[in-house]
Amino acid sequence: MNETTSPGKSKTGLIAAVAVLIVLAIMFVVVLKLYRNESDNRSASITPDTAQTGENRIDASAKIVSADPVKGDLVVRLELTPHGNFAAEDGVTLTRDLELFVSSANGKQSYEFKKGKRMNPVEAVLDMYNGDAMDYPFDEHEAALEMYFQPSTAAKGTSADASAGEAAIPVAFEMFGAVNGLEIEAEKAKENTADYVSVDLSVKRAATARFFSFFIMSAMWLLTLAVIFLAFHVLTDRRKIEIGMFSFLGALLFAFPALRNSQPGTPPIGTYGDFMAFFWAEMLIALCLLVVVSTWLIRGPGGAGKA
């Protein structure tokens, strides 16, 4: 005869379910706010100092396009705009030939801009140093951007001696941009002057990326510990072996690599985080599967066991 659920138990279960939903809703809102705040905080930002550079200057607006810790490349796009006596009446074309030098680790480092032409955007690939992507999720990197203008010496009729007297070309520099999963900070270096831009950048994993990585590693360890307890109960004859155990353990072996690769911005297998969780989880689950299969073979399909 089936027992009917008492009204008190039903009411308690309903209250518990509502409480769980409220807690989940609060956590959802908090996480979204934290992400929004982090998105603002992890954006690299440098404002231009037009008071130092004056009216006759070149405005350089740098936008961080991408950052790849594995390759060690940080790509910055420079938007250039002349002002004052460097700009024609239209406000966008140059009144003289200029040459830009930028510290790019890959590609051109020198760009010429002709008189009467617009200054096209320039992409610089910066080298990320003092860091190793295989330390994920604890890796930290540094990069440096240096740039300056000088009158072009390649123009016809212009000599280096004639250009040397007006070599100082002020640059009003600004930087902005963010990369998903990374926290990038930028600040002007000690060498930075009105006509010589020098910026130091630091790159590390965002707090949300590190949190999710820790969550994945914790989940791997918890599932692995549960499997170890299961294998222990089977080995000590406390639990009957079921065919479904083989499918469960085998599925975990193939599921963990996909779970590991779901971490944000994770490099190829072999990172510090893999040695903390993934490799151990794969090894222990494989051993537990071997223990369960061996026990099943020794006992036989109808082996003893206390369910």
Question: Residues of the chain with pLDDT > 90: what percent?
Answer: 50
Radius of gyration of the chain (CA): 31
Q: Is residue 286 part of a domain?
A: yes
Q: Is residue 197 part of a domain?
A: yes
How many C-beta atoms lie closer than 10 Å to residue 169's C-beta? 22
Specify whether 244 is located in the same domain as 146: no
The alpha-helical segments, DSSP class H, found in 186-262 are 207-235, 243-261
For residue 291, which of 237, 251, 254 has the smallest C-alpha distance? 237
Q: Is residue 2 part of a domain?
A: no
Specify whether 47 is located in the same domain as 179: yes
Of 205, 233, 251, the residue that ends a domain is 205
pLDDT at residue 88 is higher than 60: yes
The alpha-helical segments, DSSP class H, found in 42-126 are 50-53
Specify whether 275 is located in the same domain as 147: no
CA atoms within 13 A on the CB side of 304: 3
pLDDT at residue 162 is higher than 90: no
Specify whether 83 is located in the same domain as 216: no
- Range in 157-171, 204-218, 225-239 with the lowest mean pLDDT: 157-171
pLDDT-derived band at 127, boundaries 50, 70, 90: very high
Of 205, 240, 259, the residue that ends a domain is 205
| Cα 113 from chain centroid (whole Å) | 34
Q: Is residue 155 part of a domain?
A: yes
* Average pLDDT estimate for 79-88: 90
Specify whether 104 is located in the same domain as 231: no
pLDDT at 91: 81
Specify whether 187 is located in the same domain as 237: no
* Average pLDDT estimate for 95-120: 89
- What is the rounded distance in angstroms from the CA atom of residue 229 to the CA atom of residue 212? 26
- What is the rounded distance in angstroms from the CA atom of residue 60 to the CA atom of residue 288? 60
The boundaries of the domain holding residue 250 are 209-299
Stretch (H or E) spanning 296: helix 279-299
- What is the rounded distance in angstroms from the CA atom of residue 307 to the CA atom of residue 301? 14
pLDDT at residue 304 is higher than 60: no
Of 153, 180, 205, the residue that ends a domain is 205
pLDDT at 291: 92
- What is the rounded distance in angstroms from the CA atom of residue 103 to the CA atom of residue 201? 13
- Range in 72-81, 122-131, 162-171, 179-188 with the lowest mean pLDDT: 162-171
Q: Which of the two residues, 141 and 3, has the higher pLDDT score?
A: 141
Count of structural domains, the chain: 3
Helix (H), strand (E) counts: the chain: 7, 9
Residues in the chain: 307
Q: Is residue 305 part of a domain?
A: no
